[in-house]
Structure 1
Amino acid sequence: MVRCSFIFGFTFLLIGFLGSAQDSLKTVVAEKGDGILSLLRKNGVSPYEYYDNFIALNIQNLRDSVHLYEGRSYQIPGVIDSIQKIDSIQIASKIVKEIKSETFDIFGEKHKTVVEKSKRLKDNVYYLVSGHGGPDPGAMAVYANTAIAEDEYAYDITLRLAKELLAHGATVYIIIRDEDDGIRDDRILEIDRDEVAYPDKTIPLNQVARLKQRVDIVNGLYREHKGKYQRLIVTHVDSRSVGQNIDVFFYHHEKSKNGKKLAESIHKTFKAKYKKYQPNRTYSGTFEDRTALYLVKKTHPAMTFIEIGNIKNSKDQRRILDPDNRQALAKWIGEGVLLDFEAK
């Protein structure tokens, strides 16, 4: 469970603009290698709080609605160029509030702080399973003459999703875990074999044994939390022919109304995001029953099984390798989870 290691603390965040001091937003020039997340971090703004605001402010100046152009100017939401005239007491009373945060070492040093956004998922339990891990790297491909593996990218997206759900008050179990990886902002994620299954079980080499281990862990926790709202999200990266570009797909158990609703809610969110941020591109991802999949068939919580893309396809690789894209994927899945819960 991700809550096994945390520290309660408080942090101060800027909220809104500075009233009468709302002269102009800070404008910065994107440098080579900058992404939305890194640009916001460099300017002292929480990338996870202001990601959508940044896109809304700069939508006409983004490639594919999510990528920066080197050398172009961008506005930074929540940061004002001139605040010298505002008295420090006024600042404290008008734009600062104290909010709760917790730290989780599994997210790594740079990402370990989770700032509370709401209590919308309070008392809900979510089990997050990233595909493969341990002795099995999953689908493999080559990028920039370097091997890349499915399990590393599925795990990074899963960690990012865990942060999103925790920020809304959920109880989250990260079933496949690597205590020394954390959330990584690199394009090429180093391949290792030290992942374990919750809480610290060695992952078997045999495929059926690996899947059964995950099923047993999830179903055991499900029994412990009997009576609570519980959902399971499994994340994989597909492997198809090099030329096959695919969208994000969602699967569920054919007889699970709640599983279908969860898959449909996340799918609906993705359709809306594509329409908003990539209006000239048709989203072809679907949600459908795939009961034959072992985890879909055997696990007890209502669940969705997500295929993020084709690791061998160059267009899908951009979706998977770009850390900004991985963050966007996690955020959109999280919004779909909120939609699923609140549309009861």
Structure 2
Amino acid sequence: MNYSFSYRFKVLGLLVFFMGFTVSSFSQDTIQTVVAQKGDGILSLLRKQGVNPYDHYDDFISLNIENLRDSIHLYAGRTYRIPSADLDTVAIVDTIQSKTKEIKKIEGKVYPIFGKDYETVLPKSKLLKGAVYYLVSGHGGPDPGAMATYGGKSIAEDEYAYDITLRLARELLAHGAEVYIIIRDENDGIRDERILEIDHDEVAYPNKTIPLNQVARLRQRVDIVNSLYKKNRGKFQRLIVTHIDSRSVGQNIDVFFYHHEKSRNGKKLAESIHKTFQKKYKKYQPNRTYSGTFEDRTSLYLVKKTHPAMTFIEVGNIKNKKDQRRILDPENRQALAKWISEGVLLDHKLGEIGPIR
């Protein structure tokens, strides 16, 4: 049947109107709200609403950025918008007249090392496909690293550095990277507690006992990383070492970075993450100056001896009360990992500059 142009235009207009109305109504229906209670954090709030906190962490912040303290902390008594529950399908309508839908499964990969609640990693992008990252958290095994007390309990550097490292690994995997977690604890996984229990069962990749002697421990890590580097020769490779410093109780420090003095790519990696932190502080804490630095520090054993371009990160002073909040709060640990990962993405986008080391 040959409809007039005017009639077809009116029909098309009605279709667009109803489609727009349906999408708008659907969007409003899928956004829930909830009032934060005292003690709630983003992770716990999402979990209580049945939403995977790690897959929707960024979505929550985007929805509520104007209602968060320092971009990551909730205010008790305020109302927050909750992202829609996990979706594992995507509907595609081929034409405006079509009523059929094509369903596409979004499948994640399982990594038990992250713990039962977070072992499934859903893909975010393929931006890091082909890139290899070696992640080393400080100390571990017989050496807990820097120690302090909080709430009458002992806290140790290796537990918090490891938790941040796991969160970073998860972010990098979600962007398609190949990731080696060099210091490993198969029992811990990602933990959302403030006080992380101290144990000594960490091993070195793939399952090597960590030596008691300090030089032997460092040499073991260097040998593992350099062996893997040789195996992956020709690929884009980076090493990230995470530590927590120990200084006087009154010394508050920002996150800072070291690199090898002769490594242009190591400097670029450290600078990319440093720039990301500067940008985040400027956006989320405009009244606070970020004083973290990046500089060469070849005297450090891992900086001097490892072959991949690398950065050595000091997250804070475990003895300082302000820095303890940065370390103990699981939302802060997640933010640290996310910001580091964004710096890593920037570094990868900029590519290699010679010489490779």
**TM-score in terms of structure 2 length:** 0.85
- Check the 8 A contact 2:147/2:157 in 1, yes or no: yes
State whether structure 2 residue 273 is matched by structure 1 residue 302: no
With over 3 angstroms needed to count, the CA separation of the structure-2 counterparts of 1:50 and 1:279, relative to structure 1, is farther
Q: State, as a whole percentage, how many aligned pairs show the same letter.
A: 76
Q: Give the structure 2 partner of residue 72 of structure 1.
A: 78
Q: Give the structure 1 partner of residue 182 of structure 2.
A: 175
Q: Give the structure 1 partner of residue 167 of structure 2.
A: 160
- The alpha carbon displacement at 1:164 in A equals 0.5
- Distance in 1, matches of 2:303 and 2:70, equals 33
- Check the 8 A contact 1:104/1:113 in 2, yes or no: yes
Q: Give the structure 2 partner of residue 115 of structure 1.
A: 122
Unaligned runs of 5+ in 1: 1-16, 80-89
Q: Give the structure 1 partner of residue 354 of structure 2.
A: none
- Distance in 2, matches of 1:310 and 1:76, equals 34
- Check the 8 A contact 1:135/1:205 in 2, yes or no: yes
Q: Give the structure 1 partner of residue 145 of structure 2.
A: 138
State whether structure 2 residue 50 is matched by structure 1 residue 37: no
State whether structure 2 residue 25 is matched by structure 1 residue 54: no
Residue deviations 1:119-148, cap 9 Å, x none?
Answer: 111111100000000010000000000000
| Secondary structure of 1:304's aligned partner | strand
State whether structure 2 residue 229 is matched by structure 1 residue 227: no
State whether structure 2 residue 224 is matched by structure 1 residue 217: yes
- The alpha carbon displacement at 1:293 in A equals 0.5
| Secondary structure of 1:100's aligned partner | coil
- Check the 8 A contact 1:252/1:290 in 2, yes or no: yes
Unaligned runs of 5+ in 2: 1-21, 86-97, 352-357
Task: Tell me which of 221, 226, 251 is aligned to 1:244.
Answer: 251
| Secondary structure of 1:106's aligned partner | helix
- Check the 8 A contact 1:252/1:263 in 2, yes or no: yes
Q: Give the structure 2 partner of residue 14 of structure 1.
A: none
- Distance in 1, matches of 2:207 and 2:54, equals 29
Q: Give the structure 2 partner of residue 280 of structure 1.
A: 287
With over 3 angstroms needed to count, the CA separation of the structure-2 counterparts of 1:257 and 1:28, relative to structure 1, is same
| Secondary structure of 2:106's aligned partner | strand
State how 1:93-104 maps to structure 2 within 5 Å.
93=101, 97-104=104-111
- Check the 8 A contact 1:139/1:239 in 2, yes or no: yes
| Secondary structure of 2:107's aligned partner | strand
Which amino acid in structure 1 is aligned with residue 51 of structure 2? V
Residue deviations 1:278-328, cap 9 Å, x none?
Answer: 121111111111111000000000000000000000110001000111011
- The alpha carbon displacement at 1:91 in A equals 12
Which amino acid in structure 1 is aligned with residue 243 of structure 2? H
- Check the 8 A contact 1:127/1:232 in 2, yes or no: yes
With over 3 angstroms needed to count, the CA separation of the structure-2 counterparts of 1:92 and 1:64, relative to structure 1, is farther
Which amino acid in structure 2 is aligned with residue 309 of structure 1? G
- Distance in 2, matches of 1:199 and 1:56, equals 38
Which amino acid in structure 1 is aligned with residue 43 of structure 2? L
Q: Give the structure 1 partner of residue 203 of structure 2.
A: 196
Which one has a bigger Cα radius of gyration?
A: 2
- Distance in 2, matches of 1:46 and 1:343, equals 32
| Secondary structure of 1:159's aligned partner | helix
- Distance in 2, matches of 1:56 and 1:199, equals 38
Residue deviations 1:73-106, cap 9 Å, x none?
Answer: 1111336xxxxxxxxxx99959x75212011111
State whether structure 2 residue 27 is matched by structure 1 residue 22: yes
With over 3 angstroms needed to count, the CA separation of the structure-2 counterparts of 1:91 and 1:243, relative to structure 1, is farther
- Distance in 2, matches of 1:65 and 1:289, equals 31
More strand by share: 1
Please provide the CA RMSD for this pair. Answer: 2.0
Q: Give the structure 1 partner of residue 89 of structure 2.
A: none
Q: Give the structure 2 partner of residue 7 of structure 1.
A: none
Q: Give the structure 1 partner of residue 260 of structure 2.
A: 253
Which amino acid in structure 2 is aligned with residue 177 of structure 1? R
- Distance in 2, matches of 1:282 and 1:220, equals 41
- The alpha carbon displacement at 1:34 in A equals 1.2
- Distance in 1, matches of 2:208 and 2:100, equals 48
Which amino acid in structure 1 is aligned with residue 47 of structure 2? R
- Check the 8 A contact 1:66/1:277 in 2, yes or no: no
Q: Which deviates the most, 96-105 or 124-133?
A: 96-105
Residue deviations 1:7-59, cap 9 Å, x none?
Answer: xxxxxxxxxx9544223631101122211122122223333343233223323
Considering Cα pairs closer than 8 Å and 6+ residues apart, tell me whether 1 or 2 has the greater RCO.
1
- Check the 8 A contact 2:55/2:122 in 1, yes or no: no
With over 3 angstroms needed to count, the CA separation of the structure-2 counterparts of 1:331 and 1:18, relative to structure 1, is farther
- Check the 8 A contact 2:242/2:315 in 1, yes or no: yes
- Check the 8 A contact 1:246/1:310 in 2, yes or no: yes
- Distance in 2, matches of 1:140 and 1:227, equals 40
